[in-house]
Amino acid sequence: MDCQQREAKIRELAEAYAERLRQVWPEGDADITEIEEIAERVGAETSRDFTEELVRKQAEAEPLRKTACPHCAGPTHYKSRYEQEVVTALGRVRVRRAYYYCAACQTGSCPLDRQWGLGAGNTTPTVQARVAVLGAWVPYTRVPQVTRQIGMAWCLDVKTSELLTQRVGAALRQSPAAPLGPAERSVAVAVDGVFLLTRREGWKEARCAVVYEPDGDASRTPEDCTGLHKEYFGGLADRETVLARACDRAKSRQNPGASVAALGDGAHWIWEGYARHLPERVEILDFYHACQHLARVAHARHPADADAAATWLSEQRHELRHIGPWRLLRELQAWEPRGKGSTAARKVRAEETGYFTRNLERMDYPRYARSGLPIGSGAVEGACKHLVTARFKQAGMRWGIETAEPLIHLRAALLTNPELDLRSYAQAGTIH
């Protein structure tokens, strides 16, 4: 298209725009809702015209060429221009693009589709990226409805929405988004598991991890959490690699001279994993889990006196938080249960003495607090909820392990970086 033709086209589009405005310009005062409606409609029609003009032109001007079959790489021959609806961000556009046929495979293909990165449902990368964002946050069955309600110029069916979301997630699983930069202070890593219901294998544990920069002063507003530079990791099929991936990230973000805090709730696989993947670490047992064990001791010491149990518990929590576990452990060892219920109490004493002895080095809470390290694994429990529970554990949901996996990766990427541009992942996941 030369300069003159382009000018003519611009004038044509501008005139169509002016004509629309003349038709819809309200007489007198329109209310705000009417104004918005009119503006949106005219804007959408005009941008759609513009998109259609350029997209169609490109398809019609596409030179015929020798193309290789995408399946067997053999020669193809040109059949005709083939009309197809392409779903663009501005709506559906019918285009006629060159169609080539491979006699060996008995299949046809349109090279322009590949060049444009069209995915399932003939969607452009922008549409794919937007569907994926919706599919990441809301159930697939709701995606068409939400798309319509928020006024998108396109709407896809449930199956296509699901397929596109999974393609983007699979591309992210294959090549994860760029990691966050090095930490300004200490780094903490926390890992946890959460069960979700699968179709074939019943309840199955997904694993979640979060790597972040703890800040004792940060409140829990989303803005303050941004300052923690949280990175999310998760997996169901990939669950064995979640901890290793998180530890690698923690190591690469570690500030020389600052510690990596490794938090756990007491589950053995977590400590064993840290030992394998994070040679230099400060292991911290979640304070609230430790307190649950204290509560068990409190009830065993004062089985018939709830007030006395509560007082003991409150004193020992304070002791554990501000002094540490050592006097507490000595007290536990010196405790001699007597009278009614003493057999049960001795069992509690034996188990909890074992628990506090095993975890003694992970309960130096006063030191952690002084060094600006977290004492609770609330961050990862939140991560489990955000990453998995909120999307995967809704009424009636059952998951295939391989279809859940890309969605976890997609959600982890979006929780880590809400601004992440998914268009390049959309193209990477394109099918033909």
- For Zn ion, the binding residues (CB under 5 A) are 69, 71-72, 74, 102, 104-105
From the list 9, 95, 85, the residue with the least C-alpha distance to 50 is 9
From the list 191, 143, 231, the residue with the least C-alpha distance to 377 is 191
Q: Quick one: 106 or 343, whose CB is closer to Zn ion?
A: 106
Strand 282-285 relative to strand 107-109, pairing: unpaired
Minimum CB distance to Zn ion, residue 156 (Å): 29
Q: Quick one: 22 or 65, whose CB is closer to Zn ion?
A: 65
Tokens representing 183 are 């930490």
Q: Quick one: 25 or 78, whose CB is closer to Zn ion?
A: 78
Minimum CB distance to Zn ion, residue 81 (Å): 20
From the list 115, 94, 400, 111, the residue with the least C-alpha distance to 237 is 400
Tokens representing 405 are 């996996």
Tokens representing 228 are 């923690």
Minimum CB distance to Zn ion, residue 103 (Å): 8
Q: Quick one: 1 or 104, whose CB is closer to Zn ion?
A: 104
Tokens representing 344 are 């049960």
d(CA 379, CA 18): 55
Q: Quick one: 102 or 278, whose CB is closer to Zn ion?
A: 102
Length of the chain as a residue count: 432
Q: Quick one: 39 or 72, whose CB is closer to Zn ion?
A: 72
Minimum CB distance to Zn ion, residue 69 (Å): 3
Q: Quick one: 73 or 304, whose CB is closer to Zn ion?
A: 73
What Cα–Cα distance (Å) separates residue 399 from each residue in 37, 174, 406? 40, 21, 12
Minimum CB distance to Zn ion, residue 79 (Å): 14
Q: Quick one: 67 or 342, whose CB is closer to Zn ion?
A: 67
Q: Quick one: 43 or 75, whose CB is closer to Zn ion?
A: 75
d(CA 4, CA 8): 6
Minimum CB distance to Zn ion, residue 100 (Å): 10
Q: What residues does 395 pair with on adjacent strands?
A: none
Q: Quick one: 71 or 251, whose CB is closer to Zn ion?
A: 71
Minimum CB distance to Zn ion, residue 101 (Å): 9
Minimum CB distance to Zn ion, residue 373 (Å): 59
Sign of CA dihedral 235, 229, 369, 288: negative
Minimum CB distance to Zn ion, residue 77 (Å): 11
Residue burial 231-241, b: 16+ Cβ < 10 Å; e: rest: bbbbbbbbbee
Minimum CB distance to Zn ion, residue 75 (Å): 9
Q: What residues does 95 pair with on adjacent strands?
A: 84
Distance of CA 194 to the CA centre of its chain: 15
Is 126 in contact with 89 (CB distance < 8 Å)? yes
Minimum CB distance to Zn ion, residue 76 (Å): 7
Which positions ≥6 away from 49 have C-beta within 8 Å? 13, 16
Q: φ, ψ for residue 226 (rounded to 5)?
A: -55, -40
Torsion angle, alpha carbons of 13, 17, 18, 20, to 10: 140
**DSSP-assigned letter for residue 110:** -
Tokens representing 356 are 């506090």
Q: Quick one: 70 or 372, whose CB is closer to Zn ion?
A: 70
Is 134 in contact with 147 (CB distance < 8 Å)? yes
